[in-house]
Amino acid sequence: MKKITILLFILSIFTISCKQEIKETQPNVNGYFSKSEDSIQNGGIKVIPITTPKGTFNVWTKRIGNNPKIKVLLLNGGPGATHEYFECFENFLPAESIEFIYYDQLGCGNSDNPNDTIIWDLSRYVEEVEQVRKALKLDNSNFYLLGHSWGGILAMEYALKYQDNMKGMIISNMMSSCPEYDKYANEVLAKQMSPEVLTELMEIEANNDFSNPRYMELLLPNFYEKHILRFSAKDWPEPVNRSFAKMNQSLYVTMQGPSEFGIAGKLENWDRTEDLKKINIPTLVIGATHDTMDPKFMEKMSTILPNGSFLLCSKGSHMAFYDDQETYFKGLISFLKK
């Protein structure tokens, strides 16, 4: 009888310990979904006035969840796409109580579109992000920037000026050098196409005939489905199609240029590789084997960054958060919760 009593006591201690451990590791659901301080609840949306050289315009943001220690501001790519292609994050980050914030940059999605190419400028976008940060009351105890593609350029540029306001950064699928990106596109990716397809594409580009439907007919199966998102285009996720359908072509062409092989717009000579050593905050660089960006170059970036790390999505492409979700989100969540 005495042995049974001791055994029951041990089991009760073990059970209490397990319950405490489960309680400690489970997300604080009530806190994560707590209401905002606003008198009227509007789904976490905050419209922020942005001061620019051409006047004041509004940008749209939407907060998902609440975590005082981890707040991730998402910077979409393009330039000129929208926050919508990030919607898959909703299936991964809330379960880990990670707060994230959708944000349509000026000229994109739900934000104002000044339709003025003077405003399509990298340094001005840096100041826009800083105004958004202040309005959302983000600081170096909680503020992470995740920049994807063009958003990665914006994140790096922002960090070089304002890293004291940041807790960490994620550079997703973007190289720190546009000339090196251009070189990789032309010397590696283009040569993976059949000679016939490449010849026809180059003829269209040489004639500056980018509106020719044949251009996209060739790009979709031979480039997009191999390096942008590795599904058949007819199976691309709805948020991706919705975002791409709203692409601001003026912003895209001004910054990137009309060609899909490299870069020819305002960003043509942008290169911050040598300056990465000045960014001291924890930084995760995410690359993918089949990306439009050189994964080896992105791995090198992580070694230049004083507090850098690298995640390779071996099954993924430029939008690895769709075509290699398990690797992408496991690595991202691990980084954010360190």
Supply 231's token pair.
Answer: 């599904």
Name the H helices within the chain.
2-25, 29-32, 122-136, 150-162, 178-184, 195-206, 213-219, 238-245, 249-255, 295-304, 320-323, 325-336
Q: Which of 291, 294, 323, 324 is catalytic?
A: 291
Active site residue 121: no
Active site residue 149: yes
Q: Going by C-beta distance under 8 Å and a sequence separation of 6 or more, which residues neighbour residue 171?
A: 147, 152, 155, 156, 283, 284, 285, 286, 298, 301
Asked if 66 and 99 touch (Cβ cutoff 8 Å), the reply is: yes
Rg (C-alpha) for the chain, rounded Å, is: 22
Separation between Cα atoms, residue 303 and residue 310, nearest integer Å: 8
Active site residue 290: no
Which residue type does 322 have? Answer: Y
CA torsion angle for 199, 201, 203, 206 (degrees, to 10)? -130
- For the chain, the straight-line distance linking the first and the last C-alpha, in angstroms and rounded, comes to 47
Q: Which of 83, 111, 112, 149 is catalytic?
A: 149
Residues assigned a catalytic role: 149, 291, 318
